[in-house]
Amino acid sequence: MSTTTQTPAPWGTGRMGPYEVDPAVPQLTPVLDPGTQVALVLDGHGRTVEMGGHGTSTSGLTPTQTTPGDGSVPDGANDSDATESYDQDQSD
């Protein structure tokens, strides 16, 4: 007597469909302006592409520490930690 078992297909395969058609990605070429030595990006027609601005940000770590100071208990508990701050400029 022969017994065969079929493994069921994974549950997600019934929900799959064909991939969407990808939109055409424009051809961009990075070049170096010989006069200014600044990198430029050109589109397929040789026009400069504006890449937008880049912002700046700052980050800092501020340590804090507490020590016993009321004199009620000798050698009281010490505690310390740090607070991190982060500030980002607006970019265009």
Render each residue's pLDDT in the chain as its tens digit; 92 residues.
Answer: 667 788 888 888 888 888 888 888 788 999 998 999 988 999 989 999 887 776 666 666 677 666 666 555 666 556 666 666 666 665 55
The amino acid sitting at 20 is E
Q: Three-class SS of residue 15? A: helix
The whole-number pLDDT of residue 25 equals 79
Q: List the one residue out of 43, 6, 40, 16 whose CA is nearest residue 28.
A: 43
Q: How many Cα atoms within 13 Å fall on the side-chain side of residue 5?
A: 2
The whole-number pLDDT of residue 67 equals 65
- Quick count: other Cβ atoms within 10 Å of Cβ 41? 13
The whole-number pLDDT of residue 13 equals 82
The residue assigned the tokens 């504006």 is 50
The whole-number pLDDT of residue 78 equals 62
Q: Are 42 and 29 in contact (CB under 8 A)?
A: yes
